[in-house]
Amino acid sequence: MNLSALAGNERVKDQLSRQLRERGLSHAYIISGPAGSGRHALSRQLAAAMLCTGTGERPCGRCVPCQKAAKGIHPDLSVINGPETGKPITVDQVRALRADAYVRPNEGERKVYLLEGADRMNPSAQNAMLKLLEEGPPYAAFLLLAENAGGLLQTVRSRCEELTLLSGDRTESLEPERLELVKRLADALEHAGEPELLETAMGLDGKREELSVFLSTLECELGERIVRGGERRRLLRAVELVKQLRESARLNVSAGQLSGWLCAGMFTAL
Ligand SMILES: [Zn+2]
């Protein structure tokens, strides 16, 4: 599969290429990752690959469907946003999508729906989506974009292939001891008192580029814990803080300052 437009993220590229070779593309994907991780680029490429009629590697970028997809004018590719800027997709929109999905494709073999901010849809909208994932027509494909896949119902997640993007950094994954720190910090954020959290968070040293991957990984871990039914209130607060931290990580803030802020943020809010 031709995913040259997507920077970094070799693991996801390998996953998709292998899947395409072995059993073809799935009809439903969750594409998650923080802002700037390339989830829009990837979803466009994947949609184009599904609609492409070229020979050889897809998307070819040259055939009429590829060009229409790139210009955003392919009649069988729909991008669904919330009714207003910043608002999540509603249950009514999912129902309208469902009705549309049962109308056969206009030009090609498939119809592709790209849902923005799927993790922010409320449970009724997600359940309507679930029905469609389970019973939708075989030609329909769904790409669910999410900042954090943890915001999606487990039932929805189980019907989709998950593609998890990290931030645009070249560093693709953390060293084992850093992953261990992600787990310890998530534990502390979920359960520990202030001194223990501060002590654990002080381990957040390291290069700034790595810090951003670290924080993305931590956010995913926290999301997973919410889904598994952990301490919801603390975990949600922690996710919110880690998002803010990621913003600050782009500025020149030391890890020590970040950890102090993390602790203050956790305990003033609780
Ligand atoms: Zn093409």
Q: What's the total number of domains in the chain?
A: 2
- Contact assessment for residue 39 and residue 5, using Cβ atoms and an 8 Å cutoff: no
Q: Are residues 95 and 200 in the same domain?
A: no
Are both 35 and 144 inside the same structural domain?
yes
Confidence of residue 101 (pLDDT cuts 50, 70, 90): very high
Task: Note the pLDDT of residue 169.
Answer: 44
Residues 156 and 181 in one domain: no
How high is the pLDDT of residue 170?
Answer: 39
* Residue 4 maps to a domain: no
Q: What value, to the nearest 5°, has the Cα angle with vertex 168 and ends 200 and 42?
A: 125
Nearest to 80 by CA among 91, 65, 94, 70: 94
**Greatest extent of the chain over all pairs of C-alpha atoms, in Å:** 62
**Does residue 211 belong to any structural domain of this protein?**
yes
Find the 106 Cα to ligand 1 centroid distance in Å.
17
Instruction: Point out the domain boundary residue: 111, 138, 164.
Output: 164
Which of 155, 163, 162, 73 has its CA nearest to residue 121?
155
Q: Is 102 inside a domain boundary? A: yes
Question: 133 and 52, same structural domain?
Answer: yes
Query: Is the pLDDT assigned to residue 4 strictly greater than 70?
Result: no
Residue 171 belongs to some domain of the structure: no
62 Cα–ligand 1 center, Å: 5
What does the DSSP 8-state code read for residue 179?
H
- List, edge to edge, every strand of the sheet that includes 28-32: 77-80, 111-115, 140-146, 28-32, 161-164
Q: How far is the CA of 208 from the centre of ligand 1 (A)?
A: 39
CATH of the domain at 100: 3.40.50.300
**Domain match, 181 and 248 both:** yes
Cα of 217 vs centre of ligand 1, distance in Å, is 34
Same domain, 142 and 193: no
pLDDT of 178 reads: 83
Looking at per-residue pLDDT, the higher value among 184 and 227 belongs to 184
Write down the pLDDT at residue 5: 62
Give the pLDDT score at 251.
61
Q: Is there a domain that residue 2 lies in?
A: no
Residue 5 lies in a domain: no
pLDDT, one tens digit per residue, over 152-165 is: 999 999 999 999 98
Indicate if 27 and 140 belong to the same structural domain.
yes
- How far is the centre of ligand 1, averaged over its atoms, from the C-alpha of 143 (Å)? 18
CA 179 to mean position of chain CA atoms:
19
Q: Which pLDDT score is estimated for 163? A: 93
Kindly report the average pLDDT of the chain as a whole number.
86
CA of 53 to the centre of ligand 1 (A): 5
Contacts of 229 by beta carbon, 8 Å cutoff, 6+ apart: none
Q: Are residues 145 and 33 part of one domain?
A: yes
In the structure, how many helices (H) and strands (E) does the chain have? 11, 5
**Judgement on whether residues 241 and 116 belong to the same structural domain of the protein:** no
- Mark whether 146 and 240 lie in a shared domain: no
Range of the domain at 23: 10-164
Distance 167 CA to ligand 1 centre (A): 28
Is the distance from CB of 146 to CB of 28 less than 8 angstroms? no
- Ligand 1 centre from 87 Cα, in Å? 33
Domain boundary pick from 164, 193, 208? 164
Cα(261)–Cα(199) distance, rounded to whole angstroms? 13
Contact 150, 222 (CB under 8 A): yes
- Are residue 119 and residue 198 in the same domain, yes or no? no
Span 198-227, pLDDT tens digits = 888 888 776 666 777 788 788 878 877 887
In a domain, 170, yes or no: no
* Residue 154: closest CA among 187, 123, 190, 186: 123
The predicted model scores a pTM of: 0.64
Domain boundary among 164, 188, 221: 164
Whether 26 contacts 161, CB under 8 Å:
yes
One domain, residues 145 and 123: yes
